[in-house]
Structure 1
Amino acid sequence: MVRGKVELKRIENSSSRQVTISKRRNGLLKKAEELSVLCDADVALIIFSEKGKLYQFASSNMQKIIQKYREYVKIDDDCNPETEVYTQQLKHQDAARIQQEID
């Protein structure tokens, strides 16, 4: 028996949505743990529910993984000249807008 494709759209029924997020969240947490064990990978997963409840998994120290991510992204951003040019353009646009407001 083959399952049909699930149409990806918001589930309107709140009780059905709650059941779905619970099942999928648990499946996602299980997959993250399996990935970390099988592949010896550092894995961090953070989920905030609709009501703001936090669910998280970290294969090691969450803070260390987040710091590693920040350092990686910073290095990656520094190596990308297009990002630097775009950031500078935004700064100049903001400065020009602020100057117009002051004038």
Structure 2
Amino acid sequence: MERPSWAPEEIDVNRPSAARMYDYYLGGGHNFAIDRAMADQGVAVYPGLPRIMQANRAFLRRAVRFLVDAGIDQFLDIGAGIPTVGNVHEIAQRHNPLARVA
């Protein structure tokens, strides 16, 4: 497999990653064929798995939006993982461009 420009050399592109599988379930683009294959095996065992991951991300969006609406403008995103669909900084800054996320 050819390494994409966003993947550092220390990442094993031939070994699945839970973070990249999560990205795949969310419809993101930071995953490899090995991640998709493993994620598809998970779906074969538990067909609702992608919906659970999507519901998790929907909760994150609602929670961050609630906090921004309450006046919170600083966030600490622990366990941010890889870039995927709807990260905390994207959500917070969409609703308050001055919000800071570390």
TM-score after normalising by structure 1? 0.35
Structure with more of its chain in strand, by fraction: 1
TM-score after normalising by structure 2? 0.35
The structure with higher relative contact order (CA 8 Å, sep 6+) is 2
